[in-house]
Amino acid sequence: MSARVPSVGDIIVHKEFPPITRHRLALYCGASGDHNPIHVDIDFAKAAGFPDVFAHGMLVMGYLGQALTDAVAPSRIRSFSTRFAAITQLGAKLTCEGTVTELVEQGGERRAKLALTTRDQNGEIKLAGEAVIAL
């Protein structure tokens, strides 16, 4: 982030990720220990009523966290929270953004509140959240 103090409405987080592949899901299973077959076994996913496997919610949250820490030094992050909005399908190309919604002062520290979103290539929100950062 530049030295300029952001204004309300500024997008200070923006990162695009490549499409989610089966390989990415398998790697995430190993890294996270989350081996739920709904994310890697197409037969299991279909038996559960889904057209195919889909991404782990925490993988999508990790993408948003990475986008945030690429834009803002982790030492300046005061809070980060998210809520899952929709299933992220295989092949989704995600874009994460953070927009300044408010400038505040707390405990003598200037801070910005950010509205965070993760959207797929169709504009559907997959994850929404908030962060507070020190300026």
Closest CA to 101 of 20, 25, 13, 4: 13
Q: How far apart are the C-alpha atoms of 29 and 73, rounded to whole Å? A: 28
pLDDT, tens only, 50-89? 999 999 999 999 999 999 999 999 999 999 999 999 999 9
The distance from CA 15 to its chain's CA centroid, rounded to whole angstroms, is: 10
pTM of the model: 0.92
CATH of the domain at 106: 3.10.129.10
Q: In this structure, is residue 5 part of a structural domain?
A: no
* 34 contact partners, CB below 8 Å, separation of at least 6: 28, 56, 58
Instruction: Count up the domains in the chain and report the number.
Output: 1
Q: How far apart are the C-alpha atoms of 60 and 126, rounded to whole Å? A: 8
Report residue 3's pLDDT band, with 50, 70 and 90 as the boundaries. Answer: low
Domain that holds residue 33: 10-134
Q: How far apart are the C-alpha atoms of 21 and 37, rounded to whole Å? A: 15
Q: In this structure, is residue 1 part of a structural domain?
A: no
Q: In this structure, is residue 2 part of a structural domain?
A: no
pLDDT, tens only, 103-132? 999 999 999 999 999 999 999 999 999 999
Q: In this structure, is residue 99 part of a structural domain?
A: yes
- Collapsing DSSP to helix, strand or coil, 110 comes out as strand
pLDDT, tens only, 17-54? 999 999 999 999 999 999 999 999 999 999 999 999 99
